Amino acid sequence: MKEAEKMITALVDVREDFPILKRQINGHRLVYLDSAATSQKPKSVIDRITKYYETSNANVLRSVHTLAEEATEQFEESRKKIAGFIHARYPQEIIFTRGTTESLNVIARAWGDKFLKAGDEIVLSPVEHHSNLIPWQQLAERVGAHLRFIDLERDGTITVDAASARINSKTKIVALSAVSNVLGTINPIADIAILAHEVGAIIVVDGAQSVPHQITDVQKLGIDFLAFSGHKMLGPTGIGVLWGRNELLNALDPVIFGGEMIEYVDRENATWAELPAKLEGGTPNIVGAIGLGEATDYLEKIGMPRIEKHVQALTEDAYRRLSSIPDVTVYGPSSPHTGVVSFNIAGVHPHDVAQVLDSQGIAIRAGHHCAQPLMQWLDVIATARASFYLYNSSIDVDSLVDAIKLTRRYFKNGP
């Protein structure tokens, strides 16, 4: 067997860890190719969530009884695990949120409203998910700042030279995704971070698609803030992370006020608690954090280098094979390309493609993928998108290719 083939099939054994993958859809084996929207959950994560509710359910950081102390210990242990997973320097740099969207909104509010002024510039790219666009649009409107967009190469990639052409002395924030949720492009974040810091700007990274698939070392990347979601990396929905450098997080003012984020309150005034509490007002998603901690345990047990190679090999194989089918257009670069393959079949609406594939037991996404400016740049209304993760195999790529060929024949020749 060739080395590339070994890599593609290397993780097929983990499929047994995911109960939902035993399902049949429309009489076919479930081929789940929508992990960029949300990943499936291994039994260890499901069991960990159940165990918490059955044995330790209590509110954290408040009561002194046994259940509350157990819940708090498990909650904070997960914070330590996640800090280690992304190589954060301190556990208190991990702020729990509802997901990538909330994390990015917190940065725009807590950092942007405090430090940006009229005439400042925010540098973005046209490939950004709406979650890494609209908060900056709204910030610019509130303070009178301006958005500047990095020009893309013909294949949708971002180069350091193109970023350098947009970053200047007026730039205060650079906000980029590490991996595009549509094109699968891997952006040169570490190099762009250097450019941002040379002009005194901060760099904010949307890691929703990168943290689940790649080794993430915030120290080596040299970034200032990172946002990501638990549900895209085997964890529960409703839990996410805002990571920031300790000194930057300490400079932020809270944007959510209420319980546990205060140090002292009287009738007229309040002072804030230390990190991370000051940015985690109210009862947190306790079981979500514990479930995410368990998910990081699972990912590290498999090995992030192994997962990264596996997903990239699968994605590039799917890109190559889909590109060879007549009337099929595949978007983004052929390599490096990871996580997702977006495509269209000439004359067939992406929603129709998704419905035919669903009839074959294959789950993909169709639409604008919360990236309408990118759809405009591609000059399409939508795309179909297949996305891969550690539980997928070359057999799933075979099923996808066969189903796309079937879809093309169906709409070309009729049933």
Angstrom distance (rounded) from CA 382 to CA 133: 18
Angstrom distance (rounded) from CA 411 to CA 326: 13
Domain count, the chain: 2
- Domain around 123: 46-301
Tell me whether residue 370 is one of the annotated catalytic residues: yes
415 band by pLDDT with thresholds 50, 70 and 90: low
Tell me which amino acid residue 267 is: R
> Catalytic residue among 68, 370, 395, 406, which?
370
Which two structure tokens, joined as six digits, stand for 105?
Answer: 């909104």
Indicate whether 274 belongs to any domain.
yes
Same domain for 340 and 219, yes or no, is: no
Backbone angle region of 279, left / alpha / beta, with phi > 0 → left and psi within -120 to 50 → alpha: alpha
Same domain for 27 and 160, yes or no, is: no
Same domain for 395 and 297, yes or no, is: no
Same domain for 209 and 131, yes or no, is: yes
Angstrom distance (rounded) from CA 36 to CA 86: 19
**CB half-sphere exposure, 94, CA atoms < 13 A:** 26
Same domain for 232 and 115, yes or no, is: yes
Same domain for 234 and 88, yes or no, is: yes
Same domain for 293 and 391, yes or no, is: no
Indicate whether 37 belongs to any domain.
no
Same domain for 325 and 369, yes or no, is: yes
Same domain for 55 and 134, yes or no, is: yes
Phi, psi of 221, deg, nearest 5: -70, -30
pLDDT tens, position by position, 17-64: 999 999 999 999 999 999 999 999 999 999 999 999 999 999 998 888
Indicate whether 140 belongs to any domain.
yes
pLDDT tens, position by position, 356-408: 999 999 999 999 999 999 999 999 999 999 999 999 999 999 999 999 999 99
Same domain for 375 and 258, yes or no, is: no
What is the CATH classification number for the domain harbouring 404?
3.90.1150.10
pLDDT of residue 390: 97
Same domain for 14 and 63, yes or no, is: no
**Taking all residues of the chain, what is their mean pLDDT, rounded to a whole number?**
95
Peptide bond into 276 cis (omega under 30): yes
165 band by pLDDT with thresholds 50, 70 and 90: very high
Task: Please state the pTM of the whole predicted model.
Answer: 0.96
Q: Which of 246, 278, 301 delimits the end of a domain?
A: 301
Tell me which amino acid residue 124 is: L
Tell me which amino acid residue 393 is: S
How far is Cα of residue 395 from the mean position of the Cα atoms in its chain? 25
Indicate whether 40 belongs to any domain.
no
**3-class secondary-structure state, position 348:** strand
Indicate whether 39 belongs to any domain.
no
Indicate whether 392 belongs to any domain.
yes
8 Å CB contact between 307 and 234: no
Mean pLDDT for 248-264 is 95
Whole-number percent of the chain with pLDDT over 90: 93
pLDDT tens, position by position, 90-109: 999 999 999 999 999 999 99
Angle between helices 394-413 and 304-323 (to 10 degrees): 20
Tell me which amino acid residue 24 is: Q
pLDDT tens, position by position, 307-333: 999 999 999 999 999 999 999 999 999
Indicate whether 41 belongs to any domain.
no
Same domain for 188 and 282, yes or no, is: yes
Indicate whether 352 belongs to any domain.
yes
